[in-house]
A = this chain, B = another copy of it.
Amino acid sequence: MAAPLLSIALEPGPFQPLQALERWHGQLRHRLGHLPAAESSFVGRVRPHSGAGVPLAALELEHYPGMTEAQLRQLAAAAADNPEVAAVLVRHRIGRVLPGEPIVLVAVAADRRGPAQRCCQELLEALKHEAPFWKREWLLDGSRQWLEGNTPL
Identify the A interface with B (CB < 8 A).
Answer: 18, 21-22, 25, 34-48, 99-100, 111-114, 116-117, 121, 124, 151-153
The CA of A143 and the CA of B117, in the complex, are separated in Å by: 33
Number of copies: 2
Measured CA separation A38–B103 after assembly (Å): 10
* A47/B42 contact (C-beta < 8 A), A113-B153, A153-B112 known: no
With contacts A22-B18, A48-B34, A100-B35 taken as known, whether A152 is within 8 angstroms of B42 at the C-beta atoms is no
**A116 to chain B: which residues have CB within 8 Å?**
42
Residues of B within 8 A of A25 (CB): 18
Q: For residue A48, which residue of chain B has the nearest CB?
A: B34
Query: Can you pick out 15 interface pairs between chain A and chain B where the beta carbons lie within 8 Å of each other?
Result: A18-B22, A18-B25, A36-B45, A37-B45, A37-B46, A37-B151, A38-B42, A38-B45, A40-B41, A40-B42, A41-B41, A41-B42, A42-B116, A112-B152, A113-B151
